[in-house]
Amino acid sequence: MATAQDSYLNLVSHPVAREIAGRFGLPRPAVLRRYRPGEPLLPGPVLVLGGSGADALAGPLPDLGLQIRRQAAHGERLGAIVAVLDEVAGPADLAASALAVGAALRELAPGGRIVTVSRQACETLPPAAAAARQGVEGLLRSLARELRGGATGNGILLGDGVDVDAPGVTGALRFLLSARSAYVDGQFLLVGSTDGQPAAEPERPLAGHTAVVTGAARGIGAAIAEVLRRDGADVVVVDVPAAGEQLAAVANRIGGTALQLDITRPDAGARIIEQAGRHGRIDIVVHNAGITRDKLLANMDAERWDAVLEVNLAAPLRLNEALLASNLLGPAPRIVCLASTSGIAGNRGQTNYAASKAGIIGMVRSSAPLLAARGGTINAVAPGFIETEMTARMPAAARQVARRLLPSLQQGGLPRDVAEAVAFLSGGAAAGINGQTLRVCGQSLVGA
Partner 1 sequence: MATAPQSQPIRDAVVIGGNRIPFARANSAYTGASNQDMLTAALDGLVARFGLQDERIGEVAAGAVLKHSRDFNLTREAVLGSALSPETPVYDLQQACATGLETVIGLANKIKLGQIESAVAGGVDSASDAPIAVSEGLRTVLLELGRARSTKQKLAALARLRPRDLAPHAPSTAEPRTGLSMGEHQALTTAAWKITREAQDELALASHANLAAAYGRGFFDDLITPYRGQLRDGNLRPDTSLEKLAKLQPVFGKSLGEEATMTAGNSTPLTDGASAVLLGSEDYARRNDLPMLARVVDAEAAAVDFVHGREGLLMAPAYAVPRLLERNGLSLPDFDFVEIHEAFAGTVLCHLAAWESEEFCRNKLGLDSPLGSVDRNRLNVAGSSLAAGHPFAATGGRIVATLAKLLHEQAGAEGRRGRGLISICAAGGQGVAAILEAC
Which phi and psi angles does 400 have, rounded to 5°? -65, -40
Q: How far is the CB of 264 from partner 1 (least distance, A)?
A: 11
Interface pattern 276-315 for partner 1 (x via CB under 8 A): --xxx-----------------------------------
Structure letter (DSSP) for residue 405: I
Q: How far is the CB of 233 from partner 1 (least distance, A)?
A: 13
User: Binding-site residue total for partner 1 (CB under 8 A)?
Assistant: 28
- Annotated catalytic residue within 8, 35, 183, 353: 353
Is residue 191 a contact partner of residue 433, using CB atoms and an 8 Å limit?
Answer: yes
Q: Is 14 in the site for partner 1 (CB under 8 A)?
A: no
The span of 88-96, 275-283, 343-351, 361-369 binding partner 1 (CB under 8 A) equals 275-283
How distant, in Å, are the alpha carbons of 30, 146, 233, 426 from that of 213?
Answer: 31, 36, 11, 11
Give me the numbers of helices (H) and strands (E) for the chain, helices first please.
Answer: 16, 13
Q: How far is the CB of 82 from partner 1 (least distance, A)?
A: 41
Is residue 115 a contact partner of residue 82, using CB atoms and an 8 Å limit?
Answer: yes
CB atoms < 10 A from the CB of 411, how many?
A: 22
Q: How far is the CB of 315 from partner 1 (least distance, A)?
A: 14
Q: 170, 257, 388, 434: which one contacts partner 1 (CB under 8 A)?
A: 257
The span of 40-48, 150-158, 236-244, 440-448 binding partner 1 (CB under 8 A) equals 236-244
Q: Which is nearer to partner 1, 208 or 244 (CB)?
A: 244
The span of 92-100, 266-274, 329-337, 348-356 binding partner 1 (CB under 8 A) equals 266-274
How distant, in Å, are the alpha carbons of 32, 78, 237, 282, 299 from that of 47?
Answer: 21, 7, 41, 40, 54
Q: How far is the CB of 134 from partner 1 (least distance, A)?
A: 49
| SS3 (DSSP) at 410 | coil
Q: Considering only CA atoms, which of 258, 278, 269 is closest in space to residue 335?
A: 269
Known active-site residue 35: no
Q: Is 261 in the site for partner 1 (CB under 8 A)?
A: yes
Residues with Cβ within 8 Å of 18's Cβ and at least 6 positions away in sequence, in order, are: 12, 28
To the nearest 10 degrees (0 to 180), the angle between helices 94-104 and 127-146 is 10
Q: 59, 252, 306, 398: which one contacts partner 1 (CB under 8 A)?
A: 252
Q: Is 374 in the site for partner 1 (CB under 8 A)?
A: no
Q: Considering only CA atoms, which of 52, 5, 28 is closest in space to residue 404?
A: 28
Could you list the residues that contact partner 1 (CB under 8 A)?
234, 241-245, 247-252, 255-262, 265, 267, 271, 274-275, 278-280
**Catalytic positions, written as ranges:** 353
